[in-house]
Amino acid sequence: MIPPHGGRLVNRSADGEEAISLAEKAKTLPGLVLNRRELSDLDMIATGAMSPLEGFMCGEDYTNVRDFMRLKSGLVWSLPITLSAKENPEQYKVGKEIALCEPGGEPVAVLELEDKCKVDKELEADKVLQTTDRGHPGVQYLDSISDTYLGGKIKVFKRTKDPAFERWWLDPKETRVLFKTKGWKSVVAFQTRNPIHRAHEYLQKCAMEVVDALLIHPLVGETKKDDIPAEVRMKCYEVLIDNYYPKNRAAISIFPAAMRYAGPREAIFHALCRKNYGCTHFIVGRDHAGVGTFYGPFDAHYIFSEFEPEEIGITPLFFDNAFFCKKCGNMASSKTCPHPVEDHISLSGTRVREMLGKGEIPPAEFTRPEVAKVLIEAMQKEKK
């Protein structure tokens, strides 16, 4: 099976007597309440989804990742994984421990504070997001947090799983067991934060022709407010797998990360995390992890060429935008279809939302009717 990034699947979770002891200790420590992104990052560090990270980044790792997309060890890593100090950063002393708390204030982990540093958030936005435009959700996030970052190893003694996703929640060690049990030696992961339409289905099934199986791995962490809720998306994925995928060659599990909307850099991050889950291939579509017009449509493809294949370790599969061509009579892309755009069925997100809001099912060439039905019911329920 493909090795985790860095060669070892990190485990920073405590259980049994160790968990009880840490929970008691946390009551005596200065506390820090994490925001939703940091809470997602905490859980992913603990389970090894972000291997080789064992905690939130210290200054040297942070700077190297920000400027060169590498940890201080030289290992490829594309996004800073950071913890902001919020109010009164002077209360947190290097060499001491901090209780990390979920938004309600209950301690869930302990951080060994190894480093505390002030950062230039404008520079971080420019380097990582490639923009300082306040219209970018990633820039808005940086504006909302402190410029003092805390770094150090973590130990989680209480998981913060969302019960809405419990039955789909598989940690990296569990997906690896699943793949081994199924006999899947090659698995392609599909990252999504949207319901899967026919174009996505086409990409997935093209990839399935060259691997043993598909892992639909939807992101359920924090997203933009206008993104479709994760619970609704999960229902869409289930009806697709139930009706249109071979059950012995497809699986679904959640990816608990928050969206950064960092375009090409996030594509690398998404690929490395899926490698930790045991996937051997990763689908990179048009404008992967992009938002608005901040990135070129294929920037997320080009960035992989900045590294040697063995440095990434997971095989990216690059796809163009797909559509249904009326003359071809099937799904296609610009790489395979010679016909003009007038023959392509490709609806804008705005138009699809308008149709769904009116209870209208978009053309079958664009979306499966079972998926449309789930979305219509959710929109009608929201209106009520």
Inter-residue contact 307 to 76 (CB < 8 Å): yes
Q: Hey, what are 77's tokens? A: 């890593």
Task: Look up 64 and say whether it is catalytic.
Answer: no
Cβ proximity of 323 and 332 under 8 Å: yes
**Catalytic residue from among 11, 35, 159, 194:** 194
The amino acid at 310 = E
Task: Name the active-site residue from 193, 198, 265, 286.
Answer: 193
Tokens matching residue 183: 């006999």
Closest residue by Cα to residue 115 from 132, 88, 93, 100: 93
Q: How far is residue 349's CA from residue 241's CA, in Å, rounded to a whole number?
A: 23
Q: How open is the CA angle 58-45-26, to the nearest 5 degrees? A: 80
196 closest CA partner among 247, 234, 242: 234
Active site residue 243: no
Burial (CB count within 10 angstroms: exposed 0-12, middle 13-18, buried 19+), residue 35: middle
Any idea how long the chain is?
Answer: 384
Q: Indicate which residues carry an active-site annotation.
A: 193-194
